Structure 1
Amino acid sequence: MKIQQIRNATLVLTYANKTFLIDPMLADQSTYPPFPNSVRQDQRNPLVPLPVPVTQLLNVDAVILTHLHLDHFDETAKELLDKEIKLFVQNEADKAEVKKAGFTNIEVLTEQTKFAGVQLIKTKGEHGRGEILKLTGEVCGIVFKHEDEKTLYVAGDTVWYEGVKENLSAHQPDVIVVNGGDNQFLEGGSLVMGKEDILHVHQFAPKATIISVHMEAVNHWTLSRAELKQFAIKHEITDKLLIPEDGETYSF
């Protein structure tokens, strides 16, 4: 497999000779206002440009949307993606919304979805803790499996909680992508994983390689790459934790 970090949660994954675009946020830098009730209200989203020409991201076999928040599926993605492209969503409500945007080839992920020989297994996640979940709504992750590839778990917008443990136990992934920017509103706590969450993932799945994405790209991030790198050094997990720059690619 080959995983390219694009920006925020946007990934290009080549797996079993198929190319997947995951959670596309494709707008130019500073297109959208900042997320409210959070830090950096003077900075518009996305905070950083795409590291590759946007046209390079459109020639894929399928698109996967873990949920429909703006920083995972934005207006530019809706405009630019081929309306007939194979598009996977987490539930019927998201399917209805994506259909409104003009897409015609939409499938709801299950625990038994297959695409061109690749198993796509929907996994649960929680986009925060406590009362904030009423605002953030339902999200999912995905496990990719194929006989010729290592098992990949893209956790999506989730914090560390019992459901992630269950996903790790059930699928024993070799590679885990976590959304690790510890994004927050001013009240309500972490919306995605912070450094302690990532450490828990490592401790529960010590043999896996972890890739932390969703960093420094939208205004409400609170965990920087530099801070996470220092944390990894302190806890001696630098050999198991990758923190890519935008545009960086890993092969496994």
Structure 2
Amino acid sequence: MKMKIKLIRHATMRVTVGGANILVDPMLSPAGAMGPVADSPRQRPNPLVPLPVPAESLLNVDAVLLTHTHRDHFDDAAAKMLPKSIPVLCQPADGEKIASLGFTRVLPVDSALTWRELTVIRTGGQHGSGEIGRKMGAVSGYVLQHRGESLLYIAGDTIWCREVSEALDRYSPKVAVLYAGAARFLTGGPIIMDAGDVVKVCRQAAGTKVVAVHLEAFNHCLLTRNDLRRRLETENLGERVLIPGDGEELIFQPE
């Protein structure tokens, strides 16, 4: 079967693997509905851009997958609009919170689980470095595989780190979705991948197609699509990385 990744906005994607449609990290608020991230550059209301499709059109999916529950990955609008009976796959640290919002089919992924013939493996990451990284709390990535199909790796909100390197080596994904954007506060380094981190992933995982998302939709994300393209061109990696626009769908043929 064909693997499909449709970027909606920021980290919100509709992923199709093994025929199952999964809504990843839904942030469904209209543009400007939330305040800016405190102590960060460019104090503008979030999200910076509107959804490219009506929010209601995103609700008819088979499951939701959450890397974590920061508001730019699971906002109040999504919590209110999503059917409460929909399966929600999440990291164990978020299970209680999601259940408290009324969701009745919460499926925490400890290390791995099988759902509808889909293997879901949780991977680690670091949401920044030093004290800031510790304050950001637990975040997860996921590897998705349907039977013998190629693997999809969603790294989540993480910088380049040992956990990402180990996941690339262990699973050799066909496609890796990276949350780029170089989000940061007024002090400290990036709390998600920047252009240099994307380059490191490409260098280590030579056989993996990279997709960069989490760009140009939240006030503390400073890396633009054009900036990333320029850096990749200087590294001769322009053809290795896909940088979809909001609403764009990518289709990957089976091997």
When normalised by structure 2's length, the TM-score is: 0.96
Query: Structure 1 residue 113: deviation in Å?
Result: 0.7
What does residue 90 of structure 2 align with?
89
Is 1:122–1:142's contact at 8 Å kept on the other side of the alignment?
yes
The 5 Å alignment of 1:142-221 reads 142-221=142-221
Partner letter of residue 29 of structure 1?
Answer: A
- Secondary structure, counterpart of 1:126 in structure 2: coil
Identity of aligned residues (%): 41
Partner letter of residue 75 of structure 1?
Answer: D
- Secondary structure, counterpart of 1:19 in structure 2: strand
Distance 2:150 2:57 in 1: 25
What does residue 25 of structure 1 align with?
27
Query: Structure 1 residue 147: deviation in Å?
Result: 2.9
Which consecutive unaligned segments of at least 5 residues does structure 2 have? Answer: none
Partner letter of residue 32 of structure 1?
Answer: M
Moved over 3 A (4+): none
- Secondary structure, counterpart of 1:98 in structure 2: helix
Partner letter of residue 84 of structure 1?
Answer: S
Distance 1:49 1:224 in 2: 17
Distance 1:128 1:216 in 2: 19
Whether 2:244 is the aligned partner of 1:222: answer no
Is 2:117–2:147's contact at 8 Å kept on the other side of the alignment?
no
What does residue 246 of structure 1 align with?
246
The 5 Å alignment of 1:67-106 reads 67-91=68-92, 93-106=93-106
How many residues align? The count is: 250
Is 1:141–1:153's contact at 8 Å kept on the other side of the alignment?
yes
Deviations 1:175-221 (A, max 9, x none): 00000000000112111000000000000001111000000100001
Whether 2:145 is the aligned partner of 1:139: answer no
- Secondary structure, counterpart of 1:71 in structure 2: coil
Query: Structure 1 residue 148: deviation in Å?
Result: 4.9
What is the root-mean-square deviation of aligned Cα atoms in Å?
0.8
Query: Structure 1 residue 9: deviation in Å?
Result: 0.6
Distance 2:193 2:134 in 1: 18
Is 2:139–2:157's contact at 8 Å kept on the other side of the alignment?
yes
- Secondary structure, counterpart of 1:197 in structure 2: helix
Is 1:4–1:12's contact at 8 Å kept on the other side of the alignment?
yes
What does residue 11 of structure 2 align with?
9
Deviations 1:22-74 (A, max 9, x none): 00000000000000101111x10000000111111100000011101000000
Partner letter of residue 172 of structure 1?
Answer: S
- Secondary structure, counterpart of 2:28 in structure 1: coil
Query: Structure 1 residue 84: deviation in Å?
Result: 0.7
What does residue 45 of structure 2 align with?
44
Partner letter of residue 182 of structure 1?
Answer: A
Which consecutive unaligned segments of at least 5 residues does structure 1 have? Answer: none
Partner letter of residue 231 of structure 2?
Answer: F
Distance 2:149 2:134 in 1: 37
Distance 1:232 1:12 in 2: 26
Is 1:16–1:148's contact at 8 Å kept on the other side of the alignment?
no
What does residue 66 of structure 2 align with?
65
Query: Structure 1 residue 133: deviation in Å?
Result: 1.8
What does residue 121 of structure 2 align with?
121
Partner letter of residue 68 of structure 1?
Answer: T
- Secondary structure, counterpart of 2:198 in structure 1: helix
Distance 1:133 1:226 in 2: 27
Partner letter of residue 101 of structure 2?
Answer: A
Is 1:27–1:74's contact at 8 Å kept on the other side of the alignment?
yes
Is 2:126–2:133's contact at 8 Å kept on the other side of the alignment?
yes
- Secondary structure, counterpart of 1:210 in structure 2: strand
